[in-house]
Structure 1
Amino acid sequence: MFRPQPLRTLGGAKMTVVLQDSHGWLWCGAGKGLFRFDGLSFQPIGLADTFSNASVTALFESQGRIWAGFSNGAIGHVPIAGNFPPALTGDVEAEKKYAPHLSLWQIEEGLPKQKITAFAEDKSGGCWFGTYGEGLYVWKNNRLYQFNVADDGLASNDIYALATDAQGRIWAATDAGISICTMPEMGKKHLQNLSITNGLPDEIVTALVADKQGNIWVGTHEKGVLCFDAATLRPSFQTQNWAFEAVTCLAVFGSRELWVGTSRDGLVRIDLASGEVQPLPEGHALRHIKAHSLCKDREGLLWAVLDKGALYSANVRFGFWQPGFPNIQALLTDSQGRFWAGCQGGLFLQKSTPELRSGATHVFSPERSSGVRDFQKIINQNVISLWESPTGEIWAGTFGNGVFVLDQQGRVLRQFSERHGLANGSVLSIGGDGQNVWLATLGGVSAMNMDGRGKLQVQPELGTSYVYKVFTDSHGRVWFGTDGKGLAVMENGSVHFFTEAKGAILKTIYSIVEDKRGRIWFSTDREGLFCFDNGVFQRFTTENGLHNQSITGLAVDGKGLIVIGYENGFDLLNPERVNHLMFCDASIGAPSSGVNLNAICQDALGNVWLGGKEGIMRSAAFDEAFVDDPRPSITAVSVLLKAVDFLSISTYSYSDNYFIFNFAGLWFTNPESVSYRYKLEGFDPDWKVSKDHLASYPSLTPGHYTFRVQTSEHGNFEKVPEASWSFVIKPPYWQEWWFVLLCLASGTGLILFFVRNREATLKREAQFKRERVESQFEALKSQINPHFLFNSFNTLITIIEENPKVAVEYVEHLSDFYRNIIVYRERDFISLQEEMELVRSFSFLLQKRYEEGFRLVSSLNGQTGQVMPLALQMLVENAVKHNVITASKPLTVEIFSEKDGYVTIRNNIQKKIRPEASTRFGLQSLINRYQLLGERPVIVNDNGAFFTVKVPI
């Protein structure tokens, strides 16, 4: 069943070539464009101007990229796992930045000017591409090399196809045979040509494909298809008398089936086991058109680009065949591969298949197989069961007339009926264990020797009611499906009945089979499917994904899958994944037909054939693995409605907290059936199930997240594939550990600084107070020094005798001086004016004592401010104490300000011959006290002529 893919949304794009990449995406080249297809929609890939007027002629995957060859010789590439965001905001620049686009491959040697026809890759990673007109190129070790006719002996410069064999050699199909090329060393070319003398039936080779063994299948212009053994370079398979047009493309399914595209006869299927060649039937819409490209995908689907650029797909594992007679009741493929079919109108045998010619090469002629399986009627009986004995005899059970035994040519050898001892003339099932034949009838079970010459014996243990199925397993046990008595097994001569399993009452059993692990599977009329494994039952119902609990037939195919027949289709169950079933009907490209009761069989290749009212269905068991689940993929991530390069960036700021995840579940078999289960770990408490292709998460808090998405085509998410992406939203800097640590450290530091500063301040204050007290004490002590008092009183006595009025003034200044000392000593600072009043009182006393020997010059010029108490007085006193004072050498003390924030005290130096002992306390205490205050320092200067002290104001 070939289904067209809608291309209306692509603006009339005509496809030219199709390819599936290793991630499962389908890439379609067109006359004007390149598209990526997910089964539901085509996403265009941006093209540069270099590609705008050329069509895509070849596609290939290598090194994580899709390489596209064009009709003008250009080659472009695009990452497979790139970001493929849908339009979200209309922000053209943002979408354009991350939208997929095809990059032009630019190399120093330049690219061809002729059409690129094919790509291939050798085992060393060399990239080969063929052209139509310029021969063959290989890109290796960052250098481009060319194979052509003139220089290298290439068969032709016109190359149609390329393929890589098991040895890693490149096969090039040309119109003059095949060239096998290698380049094991840089610049060293090896080439071998194959022509008619080497077994080619036609020198014009138009298509190549490698099978899983690395052998090369070859399509020709006029002589059909052949296969070359890569080891011997000789044909191992060849069609003869090819009755169709030129081969254009090939697709091989394991070692069982080859599909051939032709230039005018549509698609042709070749059964590689029998050699049968089958074109599409006459009247089929694709029967007489050109095929441009074929692709086998990983699900087992065949994709075809056909005439006028149309894209079709078909699930070639499933087929349907109308043999010409209706309502198949029994079906059998014998040891020769022929079909036997029973219906109400008789027993039919398929006509002989083509015989193999002798010799190493298998040559098949399509003229001898028209594609329609022809049957001939053997007996005119209502046949309802069939069985082939180990000796090749065919046993046919009828409705009412017993059983007929026939030879391989269909001649009746014997007949057994009720008059021969048969329990009932209607034989529903036949089976044998190597020694006996068991006949299940509407009246019980009869048995006889395998040669059919013994006496029929009725098995009374099984009763006289219907027995629908008899089956002999690999352990020699005989199983019986009864009507009303459940499942029965005969082992070592005794019969045991199973009437209950997993809580279900077993009554009517229709079908019984054995899987590859020796487990017994049986079906019921309404209780579903059961598995019996070493005495343990397992039940399957619609809750497990079973399509229906009324089952009409069971079979096991060559890959171990359980085929479960219904009245409207069939299921495929993988016994290793018991919760995974795939219902096969028209939605996945299988025939939409029911299966009649036990009209089901397996052929020698493991294919299962199912008979129904309309004809015969096939479920193929190709000898290669196909995926049986949709494969999820995260296609794009948007942050704040703008696409991001999520493959490279996984860390975001705290403000980038609105995420949209786009995802797809690639399941071309039935894309509409895919459902998604997703979860954002770190946010979602549980999984969410949806049919949508996106999930949005606004206002995410900082943290570590992992987005996980799973896909299922049947709604069961046990053991299904998963895609995930982890990212981090960073907290704001004030929540970062380093910032918190820094704040803690800073806070601790500030506290320590405050404590220590406080301690230092207290210490300074204590020292300052101590210094002040000591200074006050020293000042007071100096003023009540006996010498000072003695001199003051002597001066007073003298003045009293000479000038009593001045004596009174002297006493007033002396009292003012001592009173101010007492008043100011408790204050930290006093005004400059108050300090100068103290100095003037002290100066008056000194002038009365020394008369013309001491002079005080004050020129503060209105300077205001504050100083420590007694600071200037102490400096004046020090000047008097340490210098000679006479009328001839007067001591001059100057107090002035230079508007620099200091008050300056300067005196001329007149050192005494015998200087008085100094306590070194007054000046040093003043310096220390100002240091403790942290103010500007006291400046002391002694230049030999003047002693200067500058006190901060």
Structure 2
Amino acid sequence: ASGRAAPVTPAAPGLTDQRIMVLARGAAGELWVGTRNGLNRVDPLSGGVVQYPAGPTLARGLSAGFITALMLDGENRLWVGSYGGGIDVLPAAGQGDAILRVGITQGLPDGTVNALLQDLQGQVWASTDNGLARIDPARMTARALRRAEGVVFPTYWTGAAARTERGELLFGGAGGMTVVQPERLQTWTYRPAVLVVDAQIAGRSVPLAPGSAALLDVPADGNSLAVEFSSSDFSAPERNRYAYKLEGFDADWVAADAARRLAAYTNLPPGDYRLRLRASNRDGQWGERELSLSVTVRPAWHQTWWFRAALALALGLLLIAAVAARTRLLRHRQLELEHKVRERTVELRAMHNALEEKSAQLHLSSVTDPLTGLHNRRFLSDHIEQDLAASLRRSQETLAAGGQGFLGS
């Protein structure tokens, strides 16, 4: 306010770190101070400081604390580049507190960002330790630019960037300066085909017919298959991506990169399969033409249908024989049991008759005098009551009949 320079000492209170790396002025006149350990928003009038520490899980936390670049875009959002943490985008005033992030996952070629610029079309450019990147601020996705796009310097210096009046972007790097004319950068639209470099069965290379008519016949005694593939986009082969899927075996596509362009399988079950291959260009766009190879895995002798049918038949006959043997054994045991029952029945019947005979003899001897052979007193006591009762009944019947005759006369 006085028009004089006011030095800020290393001991200035409230800053996250005294080692200041980069400065930027905000839309409302605030001062953004990037340090080696976090970002700070300083009010030049009151001297108040709001800290933005390192730690994505913290309130106002950044991806990394070593701040290397600051840039205010056309929407008054602050772009924060860091060492190893990519880019954090702080919203403008009144647009909430959510911090957007752009890193290697979103397409940056490296996590260390050395400078940030916005071109006249609104795209954001970043220089890194591994080339340049153009960022779409609407989608927060990055397109890496390297030697294939004319970027010959792999490493760029912190803060070495500027935009000319004509809209050219200048980045200083190890070896010189890169001049970017953003309007001349075209999207790489070439859609590559998939090329088979080598196919091996049981460790031996085999020739392949061109196109989708190729057939890989895998014998039972050499059940291993390996197919090496490539892309027809040779402009930046290290950036090509690949995917393969063995239909009938793989549930999903298997991703592969330029360092390992190989689909390998061992001990596949017998049957027919189809190996599908696809490749991308250097910008990660998949080619429109897949390559499909037919694969037949021959069964071993013990895996053939006739062996399994013979085995099933033998097991069936064995089961029938076992059931028949068991039935014969049970029938034999039943006959033996019936024979034993009949023998025991005869024995019991003979014993019963003998007992009845003995009982009759005992009864006869109990009512007969052994000397005279006549009935004894026991016989008399057993039968006298019965004989007396019978005599009385006959006497009563006789008297009753005589009385009725007298009354009738």
Q: Report the TM-score range of the alignment, normalised by the length of the smaller protein.
A: 0.3 to 0.5
More helix by share: 2
TM-score (normalizing by structure 1): 0.24
Larger RCO: Structure 1 or Structure 2 (Cα < 8 Å, ≥ 6 residues apart)? 2
TM-score by length of structure 2 reads 0.47
